[in-house]
Copies of this chain bind each other. A is one copy, B any other.
């Protein structure tokens, strides 16, 4: 009996279908802007939330059975892997992502953990060969164990740093072994709870050291993929060092890491930092740092990482608009780093949730493509900036002007009229296109 036995193969049935186990908008092989939907979207399943998270929250115990009918040994690890590949196959998800500790027991020593990780990745490899499913990225969980309570790369305790290094090395090895396209660093507990006990300068330098070592090691082992930073502003620490894309990019550049790293932007982390999802994607793109996406959505009324499955098609549309404008995913993809709600505790809910998110992003892709084909927004922007094509505009853009020269030109421009920003007109275009798909 399989965990997802009540979940059938999920197929595209079109928007009028009322079959809860069908896609209404995601039609994987349909071609949009010259590329198949599935190749635009590159969906990935997040092993941890999807297979491990049991609904425990700070106010109550787990509601979702995630034992897979097995004791907490490698037996469960294999059963869980079976469930994972079964789910991906049924949904047509072609990528997955994992932390080291998600996939096997940690055992009582580093040695045991290495052994377990080796065994389960052998099993993954076999499953991947059978199904064609690929690894979008790997990562190490260096925040959950009490040894990382004060951070890993930024711990005041050198031993924490050393242990994190060991875990990262093995997670990189596993990623390479499975042909992973990328390797992610999410901040975990790299941050502080109070500056009263923190040497922030020291900690940030050590964080750069750890990333540098990891990069050097991976490259020495032949890893050709991309490293990602996944920014987040708060939680679990009061201040996470990778606050947002601008902060992380500044940090990477200051530490000589910008060539190897890109951003893994999460919608929920963006909004916790009081940025839109679109803003974080744009910031990444214009800095040459666009990489991958964690698609989970937050609740703007709530101040923590709710990690909901994406359902807001406005967000999905503007995100896909940025993705397409940035040239589309190359090594990256759309990872569903999302949790079913604690009350949605049946295995079927996991399928419903993925159908929701895949359909939402399918709609987003359709709408983004339609907006680009429509062309009114692009044209509006071009016209709005057209005054820069004047003589003085081009001189400024060519860095040929001084303040004196501009002062001489200012008098006659003193009563200039800026063109209307037309925000409401543009919003109407969005709605017109979105609701005419």
Interchain CB contact (< 8 A) of A424 among B313, B349, B437: B349
Contact with B along A199-217 (1 / 0, CB 8 A): 1111010100100111011
- For the A-B complex with A161-B396, A234-B303, A249-B250 known, give 12 more contacts whose Cβ atoms are closer than 8 Å: A110-B414, A149-B345, A149-B421, A162-B409, A194-B421, A194-B423, A209-B399, A233-B274, A250-B251, A253-B253, A349-B422, A359-B432
In this complex, the member of A149, A206, A302, A376 whose beta carbon has the largest number of chain B beta carbons within 10 angstroms is A149
- Asked if A156 contacts B418 (CB within 8 A), the reply is yes
Q: Whose C-beta in chain B lies nearest to the C-beta of A108?
A: B414
Knowing A235-B302, A236-B59, A301-B234, the reply to whether A341 touches B403 (Cβ < 8 A) is no
- Asked if A302 contacts B238 (CB within 8 A), the reply is yes
Question: Taking the complex as formed, is A144 at the interface, i.e. its CB lies under 8 A from any CB of chain B?
Answer: yes
Question: Taking the complex as formed, is A80 at the interface, i.e. its CB lies under 8 A from any CB of chain B?
Answer: no
Q: How far is the CB of A289 from chain B (nearest CB, A)?
A: 11
Stretch at the interface among A70-78, A83-91, A175-183, A385-393: A385-393
What's the Cα separation between A435 and B389 when bound, in Å? Answer: 40
Interchain CB contact (< 8 A) of A304 among B60, B247, B304: B304
Interface residues contributed by chain A, number (CB under 8 Å): 164
Question: Taking the complex as formed, is A197 at the interface, i.e. its CB lies under 8 A from any CB of chain B?
Answer: yes
Question: Taking the complex as formed, is A69 at the interface, i.e. its CB lies under 8 A from any CB of chain B?
Answer: no
- Asked if B144 contacts A424 (CB within 8 A), the reply is no
Q: How far is the CB of A236 from chain B (nearest CB, A)?
A: 4
Q: How far is the CB of A302 from chain B (nearest CB, A)?
A: 6
What's the Cα separation between A402 and B168 when bound, in Å? Answer: 12
- Asked if A384 contacts B197 (CB within 8 A), the reply is yes
Question: Taking the complex as formed, is A2 at the interface, i.e. its CB lies under 8 A from any CB of chain B?
Answer: no
